[in-house]
Amino acid sequence: MSVNKVILIGRAGKDPDVRTLDGGAKVASLSFATTDKAYTLQNGTQVPERTEWHNLIFWNKTAEIVEKYVHKGDKLYIEGKLRTRNYDDSKGVKRYITEVFVDSIEMLTPKVQQQAAPVPPPLPMQQPTQRQQQQVQQPAYQQQPYQQVSPPDDLPF
């Protein structure tokens, strides 16, 4: 038994490159970055941040989804398989490339929410008294109960 499964969470390094093949099938390719954060070992050694770049390949329906919805910088969850292929470069040297053939994708970047109506400006606030300012600066366990403050009479409501 063998398993060839890749799970990645990262960001799109560019907008996808989408092509339509002669038979009508779509294929999309995308550079994808995953980053390990920097950290410090117990002995004080600094380990710098490290970014790995992956080549993602999407076919048919997933290629159409990627074409419509994925843009540079979007955060994605990817599941797929590793595939390695080779080719000869312009100098005749055999080159190898490893790609992730994506089976499923989930968008992790939230959609931009459009506002239905403009947000009204904030209401003017009464300046806090010196006693209220002191209460804010004291730790929670030392604060006195808050006093009720009435809004100014010149507000429009």
Any residues with CB less than 8 A from the CB of 16 and at least 6 apart, and which? 28, 29, 30, 58, 63, 66, 67, 70
Closest among 78, 36, 37 to 55, alpha carbons compared: 78
Strand pairing category for 26-36 and 6-12: antiparallel
Residue 144 has pLDDT above 70, yes or no: no
Does residue 140 surpass a pLDDT of 70? no
- The answer to whether the CB of 32 falls within 8 A of the CB of 98 is no
Q: Which pLDDT tens digit goes with each residue over 20-55?
A: 999 989 999 999 999 999 999 999 999 999 999 999
Query: pTM, whole model, 2 decimals?
Result: 0.65
More confident residue, 33 or 119: 33
How far lies 16's CA from each of 42, 46, 111, 121, 149, in Å? Answer: 41, 35, 18, 40, 56
Would you say residue 105 has pLDDT above 60?
A: yes
* Residues 47-95 pLDDT 10s: 999 999 999 999 999 999 999 999 999 999 999 999 999 999 999 999 9
Q: Which residue has the higher pLDDT, 156 or 68?
A: 68
pLDDT of residue 129: 55
110 or 60, greater pLDDT: 60
Mean confidence (pLDDT) of the chain: 81
The C-alpha angle with vertex 91 and arms to 87 and 95, in degrees rounded to 5, equals 30
Residue 141 pLDDT greater than 70, yes or no: no
DSSP, collapsed to helix, strand or coil, labels residue 41 as coil
pLDDT in the model for residue 112: 65
Residue 11 · residue 76 · CB < 8 Å: yes
* Cα-based distances in Å from 117 to 22, 113, 121: 47, 12, 12
Considering only CA atoms, which of 32, 37, 36 is closest in space to residue 11?
Answer: 32
